[in-house]
C-alpha cells in the first residue's frame, strides 16, 4: 500500500504535540458535531482505546495545524458517551450526522434506525477497500456491495484459559461447549461501563445454538468484569477468578507476558468483531484525507498492536463465527438485544457483578 501524504509527514515530523482543539463557548461540552468542521465520530470498545486513539489524535493534530477547516471529534473531549450516542440515534436529517462514522460495535450500526434512515438510503456510503472486497468471502462482499455496509477492519472475541487454576473438566474445544453445565461457574466475561459487551456472542448463541443457549450460557458465568480486572486476576490469588475468560482479542494482547494463560483455539474459530466505516456521500471529497489516513500503514500498525486487522489482512479462509447477516438485517435490533439482555441477566448469579 502506498503511503499517503499525511503518513509521510507524520514520519518526517515524528511525534506530533500540537494541541488538537481548545474548548470555546461555541461548542457544547457534550456535542456530537461542531459547525464549520469535518465531524468525525468513532465509537470504539474499551480495549481499543489507547494505541488507536493516540494515532488518530496525532493525525488530527497534524491535519488541523495546516488546514482552515479542522477535524472535530468528541472522542478528544471529556464527554458523556451516552449523551453523544443518544444524539446520533435521534438524528433525522443529514445535517445532524457526523461526516465520518466509525464503529466497532453492532449497536451503533443497528440501533436507532440509523441503517434504515441513512445507510439504506445512500446518505452514508459504506467504505470498504478494494483489497478487502477481493479478500472477503462472498457473504461479506455482498454485504458491502449490496447493503452499503463499510467494513474497515475486524478483531475477534476469544477464550483465555488461566493455567494456574486446577479444574477437573477438560478445556472447552468449541463455543457450544460453553453452554454445557459441565462449565458452571467456570466462566468470566468482559463488560464495559456496567453492562455486558457480549451482544454478538449472545445473538450467535440464539441463532445457531438454540432457544435455550443464552440461558444455559448465563448459568455458567461466575463473574462479569471489565477486561482490565480480568487480566489482573489471571495468575493471581484472587478467589473469584475463573479458568475460562471470554474477552476481545484487543484486551488479550494487553496481558503481561509472564502471566500463565493461553488463548484457546476453538475448532469453530473465534467470534468475529467487525469495525464499520461510513462517510457522508455528499462529503466524500472533503473527507478523503481522513479516509486515506484510516487506510494508512500508521493505522494498520495501530490496529495490529491493538488486536485488530484491516479487512484485507484478515485470514478469511480460517474458521470464525458471526451471526448471519440475514438474521441481523431481518430483526429489530434494539428489541432483539434487549430481550437477549433480559434473558441473560435473569439467569445470572445474584453476585455476578460484585
Mean per-residue pLDDT pooled into runs of 10, the chain (354 residues): 41 41 46 95 83 94 97 84 87 96 86 87 97 96 95 96 95 95 96 68 88 94 94 94 95 92 96 96 98 98 95 96 87 85 92 82
Cα separations in angstroms, 97 against 75, 77, 277, 292: 15, 18, 14, 21
Exposure of 183 by Cβ count < 10 A (0-12 exposed, 13-18 middle, 19+ buried)? buried
Task: Report whether 305 contacts 253 (CB < 8 A).
Answer: yes
Q: pLDDT value at position 30?
A: 64
Q: pLDDT value at position 50?
A: 83
Facing residues of 225 across strands?
Answer: 190
Q: What distance in Å separates the CA atoms of residue 257 and residue 245, rounded to the nearest whole number?
A: 17
Question: Other C-beta atoms within 10 Å of 7: how many?
Answer: 19
Q: What are phi and psi of 315, to 5 degrees?
A: -85, 80
Question: Other C-beta atoms within 10 Å of 67: how many?
Answer: 11
Residues 6+ apart with CB under 8 A from 212: none
Task: Report whether 10 contacts 18 (CB < 8 A).
Answer: no
Q: In order of start, what are the domains of the chain with their CATH numbers? A: 5-154+272-322 (3.40.190.10), 157-270+335-346 (3.40.190.10)
Closest to 202 in 3D by CA, of 320, 346, 343: 343
Q: pLDDT value at position 199?
A: 87
Q: pLDDT value at position 329?
A: 81
Cell of 336: 432483539
Q: pLDDT value at position 23?
A: 38
Facing residues of 261 across strands?
Answer: 162
Amino acid at each position: 500500500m502506498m503511503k499517503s501524504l499525511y503518513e509521510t509527514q507524520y514520519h518526517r515530523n515524528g511525534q506530533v504535540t500540537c494541541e488538537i482543539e481548545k474548548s470555546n463557548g461555541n461548542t457544547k461540552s457534550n456535542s456530537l458535531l461542531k459547525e464549520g468542521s469535518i465531524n468525525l465520530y468513532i465509537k470504539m470498545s474499551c480495549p481499543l482505546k489507547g494505541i488507536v486513539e493516540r494515532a488518530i489524535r496525532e493525525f488530527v493534530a497534524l491535519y488541523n495545524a495546516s488546514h482552515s477547516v479542522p477535524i472535530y471529534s468528541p472522542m478528544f473531549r471529556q464527554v458523556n458517551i451516552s449523551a453523544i450516542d443518544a444524539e446520533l440515534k435521534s438524528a433525522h436529517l443529514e445535517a445532524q450526522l457526523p461526516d465520518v462514522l466509525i464503529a466497532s460495535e453492532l449497536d451503533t450500526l443497528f440501533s436507532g434506525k440509523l441503517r434504515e434512515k441513512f445507510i439504506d438510503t445512500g446518505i452514508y456510503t459504506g467504505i470498504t477497500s478494494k483489497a478487502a472486497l477481493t479478500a472477503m468471502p462472498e457473504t461479506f462482499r455482498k454485504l458491502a456491495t449490496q447493503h452499503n455496509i463499510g467494513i474497515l477492519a475486524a478483531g475477534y472475541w476469544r477464550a483465555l484459559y488461566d493455567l494456574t487454576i486446577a479444574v477437573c473438566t477438560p478445556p472447552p474445544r468449541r463455543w457450544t461447549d460453553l453452554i454445557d453445565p459441565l462449565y458452571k461457574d467456570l466462566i468470566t466475561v468482559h463488560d464495559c461501563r456496567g453492562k455486558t459487551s457480549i451482544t454478538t456472542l449472545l445473538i450467535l448463541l440464539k441463532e445457531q445454538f438454540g432457544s435455550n443457549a443464552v440461558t444455559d450460557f448465563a448459568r455458567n458465568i461466575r463473574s462479569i468484569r471489565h477486561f482490565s480486572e480480568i487480566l489482573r486476576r489471571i495468575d493471581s490469588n484472587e478467589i473469584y477468578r475463573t479458568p475460562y475468560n471470554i474477552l476481545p482479542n484487543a484486551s488479550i494482547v494487553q496481558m503481561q507476558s509472564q502471566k500463565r494463560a493461553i488463548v484457546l483455539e476453538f475448532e469453530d474459530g473465534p467470534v468475529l468483531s467487525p469495525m464499520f466505516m461510513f462517510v457522508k456521500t455528499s462529503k466524500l471529497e472533503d473527507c478523503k484525507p481522513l479516509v486515506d489516513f484510516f487506510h494508512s500503514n500508521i493505522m494498520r500498525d495501530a490496529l495490529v498492536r491493538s488486536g485488530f486487522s484491516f479487512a484485507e489482512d484478515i485470514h478469511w479462509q480460517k474458521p470464525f463465527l458471526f451471526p448471519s447477516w440475514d438474521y441481523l438485517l431481518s430483526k429489530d435490533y434494539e428489541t432483539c438485544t434487549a430481550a437477549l439482555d433480559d434473558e441473560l441477566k435473569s439467569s445470572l448469579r445474584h453476585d455476578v457483578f460484585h
